Amino acid sequence: MYVSIEAPEINEYPNGFSQYWLKVLFIGSVSFNFQINALATTYVRLVEAALVEYHLGQSKLKEFWSTHTSLNLAAMHRAVSHFESCLSDMHRAINCFTRLRRHKDLPEGLRLALNEEKPRFVADQSSDQLRDIRNEIHHLEELVMDGRLQERQAIALKPVGPETPHPTESNQTVKTNDRLVIAQRELQFSSLATWLTEMGRFAEKIAAYQAPG
């Protein structure tokens, strides 16, 4: 069996959003309104964290499938934990972003930057899909504690995908890991990477905004 990991690389933002943190420390926040500053800071921090967790999950998933001398379950467990944290951070960041861009006291320049286009990650279908899979993860503990989790039900998020015949080698297959699944919910890595990259772009817009002096 051949294995393909189709979790796209996110090469943007290798150092996070240092411009934002330096500006907050040495120049000032984006607004005189505390809630706006809290929402902006929390959004940037969570997107930064989600990017780190995505990279770590991707790395551990590759490590699991590239270990041939043993069954490296520790790498798979770490991959699952990193992806769970990534999804949770993204869900929380989207909530902050949605509230921030609609805030009645948002500075006009920042309002224009955040509303000149509607990002895909706040579209109902995208945010609902992310929320639903995040909720499945967080509700698992309740199911375990009160005994409602049944045999053969998922007890964790899983990186999975189809196994298909190899195109040129007989009696061989290709296992493609291209999505995360829990219960009846699934999320393609390609969608996850697209949304997260876009979230990073809006974090950069917040970082680039210069409040009037």
| pLDDT tens digits for range 43-77 | 999 999 999 999 999 999 999 999 888 889 999 99
Which pLDDT belongs to residue 92?
A: 97
Q: How many CB atoms lie within 10 A of CB 142?
A: 10
What are the residue ranges spanned by the domains of the chain?
2-208
pTM as predicted: 0.93
d(CA 171, CA 48): 44
Which pLDDT belongs to residue 67?
A: 86
Which pLDDT belongs to residue 91?
A: 96
Residues 6 or more apart in contact with residue 17 via CB below 8 angstroms: 44, 47, 48, 200, 203, 204, 207
Q: What single-letter DSSP state applies at residue 187?
A: E
**CA count, 13 A, side-chain hemisphere, 155:** 9
Which pLDDT belongs to residue 1?
A: 84
Dihedral sign for Cα atoms in the order 190, 193, 197, 199? positive
Place of tokens 């069996």: 1
Going from the C-alpha of 63 to that of each of 10, 51, 59, 69, the distances in angstroms are: 18, 18, 6, 12
Which pLDDT belongs to residue 149?
A: 75
- On whether the CB atoms of residues 180 and 189 are closer than 8 A, the answer is yes
At 146-168, the pLDDT tens digits run 887 777 777 789 999 999 988 88
Which pLDDT belongs to residue 213?
A: 63
- On whether the CB atoms of residues 95 and 122 are closer than 8 A, the answer is no
Both tokens of residue 64?
A: 């699991």
- Of the candidates 117, 99, 111, 110, the residue with the CA atom closest to the CA atom of residue 210: 110
**Mean pLDDT per segment of 10 residues, for the chain of length 213 residues?**
92 95 92 96 98 97 89 94 97 97 95 93 91 89 79 82 89 92 92 97 96 73
